[in-house]
Amino acid sequence: MDAVITEDLTRRFGRFTAVDRVSFRIPEGSVFGFLGPNGSGKTTTIRMLTGILEPSEGSARVLGMDLVSEREKVRESLGYMSQKFSLYDDLTVQENLDFYAGLFSLPPARSRERIAEIVEMAGLLGRTNDLAGNLSGGLRQRLALGCAILHRPRLLFLDEPTSGVDPRSRRRFWDIIYGLAAEGTTVMVTTHFMDEAEHCDTIGFMFESRLIACGTPEELKALLPGTAWEIPSEDPIGLLERLKGTQGVMESSVHGRSVHLLAETESAVVFESLGGRRIVPTLEDVFVHLVMNEREARAE
Ligand SMILES: Nc1ncnc2c1ncn2[C@@H]1O[C@H](COP(=O)(O)OP(=O)(O)O)[C@@H](O)[C@H]1O
Ligand SMILES: [Mg+2]
């Protein structure tokens, strides 16, 4: 079964269309990575799927229920960690958890049991009397996640949960997400970090209010034409310029201290002589390619 099905989901704010006819499906128990630049419509989509915002057009079914007519029932089965973690900084870890347990109307015994599990999962043992405001970024993030899943939602929305968090905490956080998915929770997560998205089961790319591609990481990479190359350089921008007219180069872009190329497979020798190596394209390469295509298509 699919946990989320949207069809032409659309949201306008006045004359501006923030989400434009977006259709996708998320199989139950899978992790869906929702990627795209700032302002592309990710949060607005999630706000519709959580029932906070009404769609202007189109439809969405969540866990087999209709978002509009069965709104209250849907909400009980959802967890939502918003872009601004909704923690109370002047309350302790325990008080935050108690507050959310109350909000979800968990019976006292169940609440105690569940909070103990969450404290363990989040690595908050021995910290339950600390003020939430005094925790490190990584711990705050895991506490916010814990609060969002106290009621064991079947479907979890995480909106940029890892921004502003150090790499080690990010990895730990993803381990928790995979653990939840392995237990059957469906997770929809937005992120700016393309490396995080590599491990998602399915990825949707948003660009200027539209979903421009959707598929497994492998499927998305297969959309790229030619062969992908990486050429390290002290002066990647200069190299990019020089490569522009080179025979066989289809697309090129700067990635840190190197240039990434999509090239016709026959022209390998040239790139080898420049110290380049063939690479498995990253999702970032895919995104650059798709955005270029999309820009051309819209300009026509
Ligand atoms: N309540 C609102 N009123 C007017 N415009 C909005 C509102 N919410 C979002 N937008 C606009 O919709 C666009 C998409 O925003 P958002 O969904 O937050 O993007 P993302 O999460 O991908 O950064 C942005 O241009 C934003 O300014
Ligand atoms: Mg957002």
Query: Which of 11, 13, 49, 81 maximizes ligand 1 atoms within 8 Å of its Cβ, making it the mutation to test the pocket?
Result: 13
- pLDDT tens digits for range 5-25: 999 999 999 999 999 999 999
Enumerate residues 6+ apart whose C-beta is below 8 A from 113.
Answer: none
CA distance 285 to 254: 10
The structure's pTM equals 0.91
Ligand nearest to the CA of 34: 1
pLDDT score for 155 = 97
Would the pLDDT of 85 be above 80?
no
Ligand nearest to the CA of 17: 1
**DSSP one-letter code for 164:** T
CA distance 60 to 70: 11
In terms of CATH architecture, what is 2-220?
Answer: 3-Layer(aba) Sandwich (3.40)
For ligand 1, whether the C-beta of 17 sits within 6 Å is no
Would the pLDDT of 300 be above 80?
no
* Nearest protein Cα to ligand 1, atom 7: 13
Enumerate residues 6+ apart whose C-beta is below 8 A from 271.
Answer: 229, 231, 261, 263
Enumerate residues 6+ apart whose C-beta is below 8 A from 236.
Answer: 254, 255, 256, 257, 258, 259
Would the pLDDT of 266 be above 90?
no
Annotated domain spans of the chain? 2-220, 225-280
Please state the rounded mean pLDDT for residues 50-77: 89
Selection from 37, 3, 62 nearest residue 205 by Cα = 37
* Nearest protein Cα to ligand 1, atom 1: 13
CA distance 285 to 262: 9
Selection from 294, 298, 271 nearest residue 223 by Cα = 294
Q: Which value, to the nearest 10 degrees, does the dihedral of the CA atoms of residues 108, 112, 118, 120 take?
A: 180
- Whether 271 and 231 have beta carbons less than 8 Å apart is answered as yes
* Nearest protein Cα to ligand 1, atom 10: 18
Please state the rounded mean pLDDT for residues 243-268: 87
Average pLDDT taken over every residue of the chain: 92
CA distance 173 to 26: 21
Would the pLDDT of 210 be above 90?
yes
Ligand nearest to the CA of 160: 2
CA of residue 158 relative to chain centroid, distance:
8
For ligand 1, whether the C-beta of 247 sits within 6 Å is no
For ligand 1, whether the C-beta of 178 sits within 6 Å is no
Distance (Å) from CA 127 to ligand 2 centroid: 30
